[in-house]
Amino acid sequence: MIISKKMFFTQDVSSRKSYFITSLLQFGTLLLIFFSTETVSAQTKIQWASKVLGFSSERVEANNPGPQYRAVQVLGSPNKLPQKGESACAWSSAEADTYAEEYIKVGFENPVRIKQVSIAENWGAGAVVRVLAYDSTDREFIIHENKEDNPTEKGRMWNIIIPQTEYRVFAIKLIVAPAKIPGYNQIDAIGISEIDLPFEAKINLAKDIPKEIIKENLGKSINSKYEEVAPVITPDGRTLYFTRDGHDLNAGKYKRQDVWFSTLNNDGTWTEAINLKNPINDDNDNAATTISADGKALYLINIYSPDGTLRKGLSKSSKKLNLWQLPKEVKIDDFYNYMSTNEFSISPNGKVLVLSCRRKDSKGEKDLYVSFLKNDDTWSKPVNMGNINTAENEGAPFIAADSKILYFSTKGFPGYGNNDIFLTRRLDSTWTNWSEPENLGDLINTPKWDGYFTIPASGEYAYLSSEEKSLGFNDIFRIKLFPSIKPDPVAIISGTVLNALDKRAISAEVVMELLNDSTGTDKIVAEFDPETGEYKMVVPLKKAYSLNASKKGFISISESLDLTKDRRFREIKKNINLIPVKEGQTMVLNNLFFNQSKFDILPASYPELNRIIELMQEYPTMQVIIEGHTDGSDENMMLNVKLSQDRANEVKKYLVEKGLIEAKRIQTKGWGQSKPIASNATEETRKKNRRVEFTILKL
């Protein structure tokens, strides 16, 4: 703190004393704040082992030769504590209760002079008898000998505080006496620190968890004395699919898992659940795992064979005339799963698949993998999703509507029970780089199994499976989401596709594209069939889109949809008109963009112009006229005529150069402001006058 000399010497004696005392108090407060901050942040200064340098043995299960219980599980931060208990994410020696000593030696990325060694003994605490440290020359030092320490608990975070070493510690070695503590002894993590503040293992909780969360059982219309799990909510939040096991109305002799559904009444209650029956349900285990944005495609675990048997994989059933069709195989390159169960989630745009299964490169029994939709409607080879996977089971994935947050269930990270629900945020476009998973807290997670988090597009509520306080086994519950675990808001865009002349609904492919995406790779495609109802899409806010439909024999009228200023969930109804391909038909190129008073075409216009190219290529004798229009006043008439003509010419140039369309098939005309279609009184109406029109002259 700097004290002003000028201020000090211009005051009288009493004032100077008062000011000096005040200054000291302020300085002391600053010191207190500084050291308090150091104390708080010191908790983060623990350095966890980064490599295994040696070990005497490691536990390998005959039926599970993966990395569970291996020496590598000691690396990184604790996966189990503060919860105590056995974990596949911790190192165990090959045998329990043996009299021969075991050891593990680990190295650290940044050698430092230490005051503390922290050992996460998640199970069998007290079996470590010596702790050794090593310097840069691999010289050995005994840090601690455990002669009298007999912990009363089976697990602990053991912090050994020592005088600061004169050497930098490159490695730590633990000597373990398995016979000292009955059963397997496990070490979850080994850390070193330059400070002597004891490390406390904590759960990585989501931020700002409320003090009260109501976990509402959905009641007897959905839950029963049987097991209800795996809820799948439609994006509009009005239909809930789930899996019920053992019910008398289930299909087959043994009443195995069937898919049931319930719909939301206007008063917020749910209708009595109904069994989906054949062809969704049969004698085998059936379960819904995800549903498309429009609610017309239901994805189910397993592949339905014509002979009535199932094999591992994913199937898709389409809804036609309000009836679900026989599920068809969803083909995934090189798909296999060493486990008997698998789970899936598909992103709202239908292009990303997250699956839970066990493969050759899995870290645990089941890991989370990602697959991408290819141009032939098959899916790419699954890729391990990286840092969110552990030596335990990761399952029940759910991709949020914003395609940024992933919810899943595991006991591979510190939590409260058998399996907890976590969220993680996608950090890039690879889908293999994720933020540290956040536990949703003990008001959502319980000491028992929790999972199958699913959220409608509104992001208001989440539905999940939980065993605690159920009517029977697992039940379906609902919670109101709090801000820190909510996905980014999205919009549901829905409507019908109409013939522009007679206003009748017609089947068509509906496409939503980002206006600034000239590559066309980031698009959402849906099918509209008048027999099954409206098209429906889920799109992120804060972006601008082009919406159009296509059908052979029709010209699409694209609509621009600007959601850049929206911050809350919206439901938008948008009908799309298609103009029959006939001579004399005119359409406004709504998604054609220029800078103010310029004629250079902006990249956001390319998808619109590419559709014109496709149309003219489909009809090789078609001749058209491109007409430019502006708003404006009479004194700028000649400038506006030239600008509109230049814009029309620029459109022709694009069609000829990019689409190889013969120049003689395209006429151009600039009208300036002479043909307004709206008043020039306001900016909104003037926008309608600034346009380029496309008219078919000859087919």
Strands 666-670 and 623-629: parallel
Q: For the domain made up of 46-193, give the CATH fold.
A: Jelly Rolls (2.60.120)
Q: Does an H or E element contain 7, and which?
A: helix 5-9
Q: What is the DSSP letter of 154?
A: S
Could you tell me which of 552, 527, 546, 695 has the C-alpha nearest to residue 615?
A: 552
Whether residue 82 has a cis bond before it, omega within 30° of 0: yes
Mean pLDDT calculated for residue range 569-574: 94
Q: Is the pLDDT of residue 40 over 80?
A: no
Could you tell me which of 71, 24, 76 has the C-alpha nearest to residue 50?
A: 76
* % of residues, the chain, pLDDT over 90: 76
Mean pLDDT calculated for residue range 196-222: 95
What confidence category does residue 64 fall into, taking pLDDT thresholds of 50, 70 and 90?
confident
Q: How many CB atoms lie within 10 A of CB 144?
A: 19
CA separation for the pair 585, 579 (Å, rounded): 7
Q: Which CATH number fits domain 581-699: 1.20.58.2050, 2.30.30.100, 3.30.1330.60, 3.90.550.10?
A: 3.30.1330.60
CA separation for the pair 651, 629 (Å, rounded): 13
Class of domain 216-485: mainly beta
Residue 618: phi, psi to the nearest 5? -70, -35
Mean pLDDT calculated for residue range 220-243: 95
Question: What are the tens digits of pLDDT across the range 514-536?
Answer: 887 655 556 888 888 888 788 99
Are the beta carbons of 463 and 477 closer than 8 angstroms?
yes
Is residue 679 helix, strand or coil? coil
Question: What are the tens digits of pLDDT across the range 397-442?
Answer: 999 999 999 999 999 999 998 899 999 999 999 999 999 999 999 9
Q: Is the pLDDT of residue 348 over 80?
A: yes
Question: What are the tens digits of pLDDT across the range 8-20?
Answer: 223 333 333 344 3
Q: What is the pTM of this model?
A: 0.87
Q: Is the pLDDT of residue 154 over 50?
A: yes
Token reading at 397: 């994935």
Are the beta carbons of 181 and 86 closer than 8 angstroms?
no
Tokens 């904590």 sit on residue: 202
What confidence category does residue 253 fall into, taking pLDDT thresholds of 50, 70 and 90?
confident
What confidence category does residue 4 fall into, taking pLDDT thresholds of 50, 70 and 90?
very low
Q: Is the pLDDT of residue 59 over 70?
A: yes
Mean pLDDT, rounded, of the chain: 90
CA separation for the pair 262, 268 (Å, rounded): 12
Contacts with 469 (C-beta within 8 Å, 6 or more apart), sequence order: 215, 217, 475
CA separation for the pair 590, 688 (Å, rounded): 9
CA separation for the pair 396, 29 (Å, rounded): 50
Q: How high is the pLDDT of residue 28? A: 44
Q: Does an H or E element contain 38, and which?
A: helix 13-42
Q: Where are the beta strands (DSSP E) in 279-366?
A: 288-291, 297-304, 310-320, 323-324, 328-330, 343-346, 352-357
Question: What region, left, alpha or beta, does residue 320 occupy, with left being phi > 0 and alpha being psi -120 to 50 degrees?
Answer: beta
Q: Is the pLDDT of residue 671 over 70?
A: yes
Class of domain 489-580: mainly beta
Q: How high is the pLDDT of residue 473? A: 84
Could you tell me which of 115, 118, 110, 120 has the C-alpha nearest to residue 170?
A: 110
Q: How high is the pLDDT of residue 517? A: 62
Is residue 25 helix, strand or coil? helix
Q: How high is the pLDDT of residue 11? A: 34
Q: Is the pLDDT of residue 149 over 80?
A: no
Hey, where are the domains in the chain? 5-44, 46-193, 216-485, 489-580, 581-699
What confidence category does residue 310 fall into, taking pLDDT thresholds of 50, 70 and 90?
confident
Strands 570-573 and 490-495: parallel
Could you tell me which of 249, 318, 251 has the C-alpha nearest to residue 284?
A: 251
State how far Cα 185 lies from the chain centre: 36
DSSP letters for 584-650: T-EEE-TT--B-TT--PBPGGGHHHHHHHHHHHHHSTT-EEEEEEE----GGGHHHHHHHHHHHHHH
Judged by average pLDDT, the poorest of 63-72, 366-375, 387-396 is: 63-72
Token reading at 542: 């804060």
Alpha-carbon Rg for the chain, nearest whole angstrom, is 33
Q: Is the pLDDT of residue 1 over 80?
A: no
Question: What are the tens digits of pLDDT across the range 613-665?
Answer: 999 999 999 999 999 999 887 778 899 999 999 999 999 999 999 999 999 99
Query: Among the residues of 43-162, which ranges form H helices?
Result: none
DSSP letters for 441-492: -TTT--SSBEEEEE--TT-SEEEEEE-TT-SSSSEEEEEEPPGGGPPPPEEE
Tokens 């310097």 sit on residue: 135
Are the beta carbons of 484 and 495 closer than 8 angstroms?
no
Could you tell me which of 74, 104, 102 has the C-alpha nearest to residue 89?
A: 74
CA separation for the pair 53, 129 (Å, rounded): 19
Question: What are the tens digits of pLDDT across the range 115-130?
Answer: 999 999 999 999 999 9
Q: How high is the pLDDT of residue 387? A: 94
Could you tell me which of 218, 281, 207 has the C-alpha nearest to residue 247?
A: 281
Please name every residue paired with 133 in a beta bridge, in sequence order, or none if there are none.
141, 172
Q: Is the pLDDT of residue 22 over 60?
A: no
Question: What region, left, alpha or beta, does residue 8 occupy, with left being phi > 0 and alpha being psi -120 to 50 degrees?
Answer: alpha
Token reading at 463: 């539905």
